[in-house]
Structure 1
Amino acid sequence: MKINEEPFYKEIGKEVAIFDASYEQKLPVLLKGPTGTGKSRFVEYMAWKLGKELITVACHEETSSTDLIGRFILKGTEAVWQDGPLTQAVKKGAIIYLDEVAEARPDIVVAIHSLTDYRRTLFLDKLGEEIKAENGFMLVASFNPGYQKGFKELKPSTRQRFVAMSFEYPRQEIEIEIIKQETGIDQNTAKALVKIAEKIRNLGELGLTETVSTRLLVDAAKMIKTEVGKRLAVEVAIVQPLTDDEEILNTLKNLTQLMI
């Protein structure tokens, strides 16, 4: 996919310069951080900035190396090879983004190893071929190191093949600006939503698997702009997606209703 219009992205640190340098030096990049902190939007922005085609793969527990590399498919009575997204990116010199790579099967890590070092080569075992990556090819992956800790982790030997950047929730003023830019909501409402997020993020005793992401705040702001009302918008766009535990839900409902 070629991104023709500039995606809105608010730089928080030196991530743009680091990505630019990694691209120039043909180094793979790993983005670490919680869900909804802008990792995917950042990759889209950088693909637009560099004028590169972007191929995104949303990894899950069933994603295998075959899904990435390719497979034989039947066309009539003939078996025809079909390139997977990784093979396409290698041949085109595109950016490939493996979103939540730790969720995928372990054989994916094996498949990408030869692309993350000086070889920049993809091995197609089923064809008995190897493909040298075209100039401009870049491998970008993301994962959430805090999610189900101990179960969905990347091995140190894999992490050390990447230039790595950590993404966290933006500072208050930046998060407010993001919400306003994305939704057109007013300053006071955006500020109230950010304060709700900060309060919930600091409630570690609730034991939430995931906390309030910037994405949820944007969703809440969009709902507020409709006719459902602020409190209901916050409940359905922020509180309900966080948990199914009735006690925690009631705690969050009571808390947010006092703040909006």
Structure 2
Amino acid sequence: MNTNYQLPENMVNILEENKNNPDSFVELIRDGGYVPPNMDLLVDAISALSMGKNILLKGPTGAGKTKFAETLSHLFNQPMFSVNCSVDLDAESLLGFKTLTYEEEKQVIEFIPGPVIHAMKHGNFLYIDEVNMAKPETLPLINGVLDYRRTITNPFTNEIVTAEGGFNVIAAINEGYVGTVPLNEALKNRFVVIEVPYIEGEQLKNLIQTNTKLADEATIDLFVKLSSDLINAVSQGKLSEDAASIRALLDACDLAVLIPSKRAIQRSIIDKLDEEREREFIKNLTETLF
């Protein structure tokens, strides 16, 4: 296994000098980056990736898993190739495909690398989103990529591809959704699992201020309170996780700059829900707050 995973020098220094002060990582994250509710999440993810381990980000929809992955890619100065899993995901979607092209007026077959092959050959990050949406028989194709071998035999070219130094894998999972399947143990054991919870309180307020156009502090505070109430309702089983999506909340904050907040919530959060009971619950909550 190639273990040439080097952190940027300033991050190495921070890891060594501030082991008991993980908040120092905040200065490395640009505006719009993911600042987790518990900085241990960031330290643990950085530590795992620097040792060549794959990480699996596990948490509710809209909690910021993709943003977390993008932030890690930025911190390691690594481009990131992405795979969006679905029931239609196949070997070509992962590895690439053959196509006809011309060389000096002669027709030849050319292989176009997919995200897995591309990331391996360039020593970049690979992000596999909603990994449990893929059919169980698809992902074992890359088992050798995910373990100590970091190698795959490309079935389309018979080329043996070994990952360059710097290559690593970040995957994300939403559990319990329609169309998802449990990860088999062989796949799960190839990852270090990091739970990604919702962002709340002051961190959510800062996120709204830096990632939306909403500037009125009183209105921002109301949206932070709305998010807290939605998260509590999810934990009590009154709402599905979709209702507390931070992504949807940020959309509502943006819309609230131009239209009334209650309508912004209606369009961004309420109208996405299928169950009338959940819709009414959030309508009543919105009326109370706004």
TM-score, normalising length: structure 1: 0.89
The residue that corresponds to 1:70 in the other structure is: 96
Total equivalences in the alignment: 253
Tell me the alpha carbon deviations over residues 118-154 of structure 1, each in whole angstroms, 9 at most, x when there is no partner: 11112212222211100000111101123249x4221
C-alpha displacement of 1:35:
0.9
Identity over the aligned pairs, expressed in percent?
A: 27
Q: Structure 2 regions of 5+ residues with no counterpart?
A: 1-29
Distance in 1 separating the partners of 2:117 and 2:75: 23
Q: Structure 1 regions of 5+ residues with no counterpart?
A: none
Comparing 64-73 and 92-101, the one that deviates more? 64-73
Distance in 2 separating the partners of 1:63 and 1:148: 16
The residue that corresponds to 1:171 in the other structure is: 200
Comparing 212-221 and 176-185, the one that deviates more? 176-185
The residue that corresponds to 1:201 in the other structure is: 231
The answer to whether structure 1 residue 10 and structure 2 residue 40 are counterparts is: no
C-alpha displacement of 1:17:
1.7
Distance in 1 separating the partners of 2:266 and 2:97: 45
Distance in 1 separating the partners of 2:277 and 2:56: 37
The residue that corresponds to 1:102 in the other structure is: 132
The answer to whether structure 1 residue 238 and structure 2 residue 233 are counterparts is: no
Within a 5 Å distance, the mapping from 1:72-221 to structure 2 comes to 72-75=98-101, 77-148=107-178, 151-183=180-212, 184-203=214-233, 204-206=236-238, 208=240, 210-221=242-253
Distance in 1 separating the partners of 2:249 and 2:135: 32
C-alpha displacement of 1:7:
4.0
Given that 1:31 and 1:39 are in contact with CA atoms closer than 8 Å, whether structure 2 keeps it comes out as: yes
Distance in 2 separating the partners of 1:127 and 1:25: 31
C-alpha displacement of 1:83:
0.9
Tell me the alpha carbon deviations over residues 218-256 of structure 1, each in whole angstroms, 9 at most, x when there is no partner: 111100011x11111111112112x13334323321221
SS of equivalent residue, structure 1 residue 51 = coil
SS of equivalent residue, structure 1 residue 107 = coil
- Residue among 49, 52, 59 paired with 1:26: 52
* CA pair 164-220 structure 1, distance change in 2 beyond 3 A: same
Given that 1:180 and 1:186 are in contact with CA atoms closer than 8 Å, whether structure 2 keeps it comes out as: no
Distance in 2 separating the partners of 1:88 and 1:15: 28
* CA pair 6-48 structure 1, distance change in 2 beyond 3 A: farther
Distance in 2 separating the partners of 1:12 and 1:71: 41
SS of equivalent residue, structure 1 residue 210 = helix
Within a 5 Å distance, the mapping from 1:36-47 to structure 2 comes to 36-47=62-73
* CA pair 120-55 structure 1, distance change in 2 beyond 3 A: same
SS of equivalent residue, structure 2 residue 181 = coil
* CA pair 97-205 structure 1, distance change in 2 beyond 3 A: closer
The residue that corresponds to 2:25 in the other structure is: none
Given that 2:249 and 2:269 are in contact with CA atoms closer than 8 Å, whether structure 1 keeps it comes out as: yes
CA RMSD of aligned residues (A): 2.0
Distance in 2 separating the partners of 1:18 and 1:208: 29
* CA pair 131-68 structure 1, distance change in 2 beyond 3 A: same
C-alpha displacement of 1:190:
1.9
AA aligned to 2:128 is L
Given that 2:37 and 2:197 are in contact with CA atoms closer than 8 Å, whether structure 1 keeps it comes out as: no
